Amino acid sequence: MPHTHPHEADLDHGHGHGHSHGHDHAPAVAIRGAAGGETITLEQRVLAKNEDLAARNRAWLAEQGIVAVNLMSSPGAGKTTLLERTIRDFAGRRPVAVVEGDQETMLDAERIKRAGSTVVQVNTGAGCHLDAEMMRDALTTLTPEPRSLVLVENVGNLVCPALFDLGERSRVVIISVTEGTDKPLKYPYMFAAADLVIINKVDLLPYVDFDMARCEEYARSVNPGLRLLAVSATTGEGMRAWYDWVAEQY
């Protein structure tokens, strides 16, 4: 299969593999005059360019048979540790490439490289998320093999990344038992946009106040069909279920 770059993908196949997480409109902005008079509502489709690029990314990934998974979490939930173990456990089974998103530094990219994966670091500066253009450029640099797995470690927060489609096959939200049971209620949009929730650091359950059943209840209250997995990326507990889920994406 010829290896073309993402920007060459046919737009007609923009939604041919997986589902789109794009959103049509930014929130309306109301501007009120100093005298409290007429309110002008301005609504711009500010995500239109991102949606178009995401569709191109999705089409190219589909043509190559590549599965891209967007991993999102708050800082410290254990995304990088989960990636490291996944890379090591996938050695010899399927090529893995990583897009590493952070505001600054190469620290996580260096960890990923040591784990044995090709990786490209995307530093967003003041930006709080990756977008489809960053994803396109990262894929062009990575040139992942056909039928490979591309794992995207998005910038750590539970708000902005939910708004921006990258062209990924699936979205995974990672939370840890150290963060509190009520995360799905506090950040419902992120959980509503997810295909899977990984509850990480379950090896710490005896030492923290975390109600697993209640957290699952909260998550499904905003996304009834949501799948949840309990894992420890540190000890390996539950990771087999995560690998099985990845295999289902092909």
pLDDT-derived band at 92, boundaries 50, 70, 90: confident
Q: Tell me if 164 sits within 8 A of 141, measured CB to CB.
A: no
pLDDT band for position 48 (cuts 50, 70, 90) = confident
**DSSP for residue 70:** E
d(CA 81, CA 87): 10
pLDDT of 17 > 80? The answer is no
Please tell me whether residue 81 adopts helix, strand or coil conformation.
Answer: helix
CA atoms within 13 A on the CB side of 74: 14
Which one, of 73, 66, 82, lies nearest residue 101 by Cα?
73
Question: pLDDT exceeding 70 applies to what percent of the chain?
Answer: 82
What is this structure's pTM?
0.83
**3-class secondary structure, 22:** coil
4 versus 95: which is more confidently predicted?
95
